[in-house]
Amino acid sequence: MNEFVARKGIISLGGITLPEIYVTSTYTVTADDYLINASGTFNVTLPSAVGIQGKLYTIKNSGVGIITVITTSGQTIDGSISSSIVAGNGLQIASNGSNWIVITSSGVVSHSDLSNLNWIISGHIGSGNTFAGFNASGNTTYYPSNSTLTQNDFLIWSGGTWVSAAGIIGMPSDGTYTDGFFDTWTGSTTIANAVDDINEVLKKLAPSKPPELSTKTILLNSSYASATLNKASDGTAVSYLLVSDLNTTDVQLSDMTITSTGGGFNKVVGYNLTGFIDNTSVGSILYSNGNMTTGTTNASKLTAIEYDYWGGVAGKSDFWPAIVARINDVFSGLSYGVHTVKISWSGSTELETTNLLTIYYDNPVTPSGNTLNLSAQTYVTRWISGVPTFSTNDLLAVNYGFTGLVSQLYRPNPISASSSYASTVTNTLSGVQTSGTTITGVLNPVVQTAKYIEDITVTVIATNGKGTATTYSNMTIATSQAGKTMRVDTVSNESTRKLSGGIAGNFPSGGTYGGTYDSGATLLTGSYLYELQMLNGVYRRITGNYTTNFPIAGPNYSSDSNTDYRWVMFSYSITAKSSILVTVNGANMSTVAGSQITDNMKIFVKVEGSTGWLDANNPYPGVGTPINDSDFAMATASSTATTTTLVKYVTFGSGNYTGTLYVRLGMISGSNDTLTSITVT
């Protein structure tokens, strides 16, 4: 470290040159500085006085603004926390090791506490550009004059200068607003702008208000509120109400102001909440000074409940009040016909209002039917195992006649017909209708796919404009066809079924099996005497009496003259097979204990042109090649059996076949077994 110590003084023949720095914005003094030449209005911050006892600094204000010299670490300048240098003046200070002391100064204002820098013009205006004033301590100081100041003005220190406090916020005690949310504020920010900024922030923080009355739609408190009906007089659509209440909810109380308690809001100006029917007041409630007072004119017609809109919500409750308003007993004393309803706020004039609800008052009677029956509209002849049935997309015919559907109003679709087995359909009513007339017509439900019932039923519902319905459940065939039934079996399909041979025996001969199966043939005679019946998608022994079927009578399968086996047969294509899996799905199938042999059932397979009818329900002996009629071919170890699924592993021994495979399954008389499908893999 280089030091120069002069103990007896310094004599300089050529003068002394000391460091000088020129600054135009906020500046922090360094150890290398001496003369700080400043121009503008800003702060110059001194370093700590500790450890640099005797250190000198000179600060010159060479501009036209105010230079404020401030300290760090709570240190002072001759006991003040800062000093301000007006234009053209300067300040020389030195460290005493703990604080700063003034050596010389001109045009400097010292401030012991910025919170006390409030001055009142005393009227003692000094000469030149100065005026006299006194601070809170009673000390008199002279300051540059301000042409905008007048006697008794209130002064505050703002950003390095004295300004009039009229209409501005002034500087805070810490000297800045930049450390807070409103960091653009200065001492000269107007009070109006500051309040506006705070108000905008509070609006974002406050919970949302209840909606204005003008945004609310008056509602019908009725199960029929959504009904759109037609006028009998001309067929036009109208809104409809029969029950007694209308209401609107969550309405903001207008003209809110802050109260002195609770931080809530209440009315301070008197306003009326009024209900109108046909533009005539039916009741009025006065709100004034936070109170709700029921009016005297038909007051029972209009009721309202005031409540906390955000009640129970943390940080939002006790802030906005709202009301639920209701017009009661709307139609008491009114004539049948068109009426209007609304709820309004009003002072000297109407301020806000709900929508104007148009309603049509009516009182129809309960519907009743006098001609109801079920028949067939279109019927495509379809047979399953010799039994007639409706087909998918066939049309039923529901003939109806109802009174009580039309009064002053009517529903555009007052009658519906539905069934678990056919589509739901409704009628269409439009145009001019006569009150009290009988409405007649035909509805055509469409028969659906995958449905089964021996006697189809239909439910008919007739509904008047009020919403009162009359239901006729489980309606069956027309009374003119007494004793008849209308069966639906769109589940069954015999398109893959083949003729099984026309014999009760096990081995039908060539030419008697494998042909196209005729679903219209009766199972009571001829070669079809030995075929199983398909009913509701399953094969079984024949059952049921279909002689009462409408519109086409069927056979009587309630007794079976065939006491031997009945059969069903299918064909498959195989390629290079030495074995196959035959999977039988059904119900009620039982197996002989200790084996995979199914009781009361026969299963034969045949590769056309290569084998005879091989027995797939008896164990293969383990040697040889099954090839002739009745040869056992079921590999027991690879077969399984339950009451619902049989898996028969059929071996061809050393045979390896390609061609048409027939599977023929028979059920003995009296069997309860049923079969839904056979697959071959």
Q: Map out the domains of the chain with their CATH numbers.
A: 20-164 (no CATH), 213-361 (no CATH), 368-489 (2.60.40), 493-681 (2.60.120.380)
Pairing verdict, β 614-619 and 632-634: parallel
Residue 153 pLDDT greater than 70, yes or no: no
Q: Is 413 helix (H, G, I), strand (E, B) or coil?
A: coil
> CA–CA distance from 280 to each of 220, 343, 360 (Å)?
19, 11, 17
> CA–CA distance from 520 to each of 363, 553, 559, 669 (Å)?
56, 12, 19, 23
- Name the least confident of 153-157, 161-165, 343-347, 542-546: 153-157
Cα–Cα distance measured from residue 175 to residue 160, given in angstroms and rounded to the nearest whole number: 10
> CA–CA distance from 660 to each of 203, 280, 574, 603, 609 (Å)?
86, 90, 6, 17, 9
- 475-478-482-483 Cα dihedral, nearest 10 degrees: -50
pLDDT at 104: 87
- To which H or E segment does residue 608 belong? none
Structure tokens at 24: 């135009």
- pLDDT tens digits, 346-401: 766 777 788 887 777 777 888 998 778 888 888 888 999 999 999 999 999 999 99
What is the value of pTM for the model shown? 0.57
Q: Name the pLDDT band for 288 (thresholds 50, 70, 90).
A: low
How many CA atoms are closer than 13 Å to the CA of 30, on its beta-carbon side? 6
pLDDT at 165: 60
Cα–Cα distance measured from residue 430 to residue 473, given in angstroms and rounded to the nearest whole number: 26
Cα–Cα distance measured from residue 479 to residue 593, given in angstroms and rounded to the nearest whole number: 54
Residue 47 pLDDT greater than 90, yes or no: yes
Q: Measuring CA to CA, which residue among 546, 548, 542, 540 is closest to residue 560?
A: 542
Cα–Cα distance measured from residue 557 to residue 386, given in angstroms and rounded to the nearest whole number: 10
Sign of CA dihedral 264, 265, 266, 269: positive
- To which H or E segment does residue 200 belong? helix 191-205
Q: Is 193 helix (H, G, I), strand (E, B) or coil?
A: helix
Q: Measuring CA to CA, which residue among 164, 147, 166, 168 is closest to residue 155?
A: 164
Please calculate the CA angle 545-550-553 and round it to the nearest 5 degrees.
Answer: 50
Q: Where are the beta strands (DSSP E) in 24-139?
A: 27-28, 35-38, 42-45, 56-61, 67-70, 82-85, 90-95, 100-105, 108-111, 118-121, 130-134
Residue 428 pLDDT greater than 60, yes or no: yes
Q: Identify the DSSP state of 168.
A: B
